[in-house]
Amino acid sequence: TLLIGLLAWQGVRAFWPQRVDLYTFSQPEGGETRLLGETLEHQRRFPAPADGQGNSGGQVNRYLIKTGNRDWDAPDFRVVYSRTAAQVGQPADIMVLQRRSHGQAYGWFVGLREDNEELTAQDPDALLHQRLGQVQMLVRQANQIRRVDMARLNSQR
C-alpha cells in the first residue's frame, strides 16, 4: 500500500502545476548563469564529480531542474553542480505553456507574431487568450476531419 501511495503521489505531482524558479548561478571566473524551470531536486553537500584526472572535487550543491523548451534547447532536464548556493527567485510574470508537442515552455510573454509581423493590441493578454481559443477551435476541426470525415471516406472503399 505504501508503494501504491507513493506512485499515486508522484503521478498527481507530475500533472499538478509546479512553482517555477529563476536560478542565478555565480561563475568562478565572474559573471552569472541564469536558468528558469521547476525545481525537482536540490542536494546540499553532494560529492562533486571527479575531474579528468580522477581527483575528487569535494562537496557541491546539486540541482535537478526541469527547464522544458526542448525544441529550442534540449534536453528538458538539467543537472547543475555549483560550489556556492544559487540565488533562487520566483518572478510573478512567468508563463508556463503546455504545448501539444515538445513539452512545456517556460518564459515571459512579450508579444505575439504572425507571418513574422508583430501583432499589436490594447490588451496583449486578451489577444493571447483570443488566439488560444482560435487554436482550440482549429484543433477540434482537425480532429473532426481526421476522426469522422476521413473514417467515412475510408469506409467507402
Whether 127 maps to a domain, the answer reads yes
In a domain, 147, yes or no: yes
Q: How does DSSP classify residue 53? A: T
- Per-residue pLDDT tens digits for 44-92: 887 877 666 666 667 888 999 999 888 877 788 999 888 888 999 999 8
pLDDT value of residue 53? 63
- Is residue 116 domain-shared with residue 70, that is, in the same domain? no
Same domain assignment for residues 21 and 87: yes
Q: What does the mean pLDDT of the chain come to?
A: 84
- The structural domain count of the chain equals 2
The proportion of the chain whose per-residue pLDDT surpasses 70, expressed as a percent, equals 91
Q: Is residue 68 part of a domain?
A: yes
Distance CA 126, CA 128 (A): 5
User: What cell was used for 99?
Assistant: 504545448
Residues 115 and 86 in one domain: no
Structural domain includes residue 152:
yes
- Whole-number percent of the chain with pLDDT over 90: 22
User: Residue 136 contacts by C-beta under 8 Å, 6 or more apart in sequence?
Assistant: none
The residue range of the domain holding 141 is 109-157
Q: How far is CA 44 from CA 3, 84, 86, 142, in A?
A: 27, 10, 11, 49
User: Same structural domain for residues 45 and 79?
Assistant: yes
Q: Tell me, yes or no, whether 125 and 157 share the same domain.
A: yes
pLDDT in tens, 97-109: 888 888 888 999 8
- Is residue 1 situated within a structural domain? no
In whole angstroms, what is the distance from residue 68 CA to residue 66 CA? 6
Residue 116 resides in a domain: yes
The model's confidence at residue 149, banded by pLDDT at 50, 70 and 90, is confident
Q: What is the pLDDT of residue 87?
A: 92
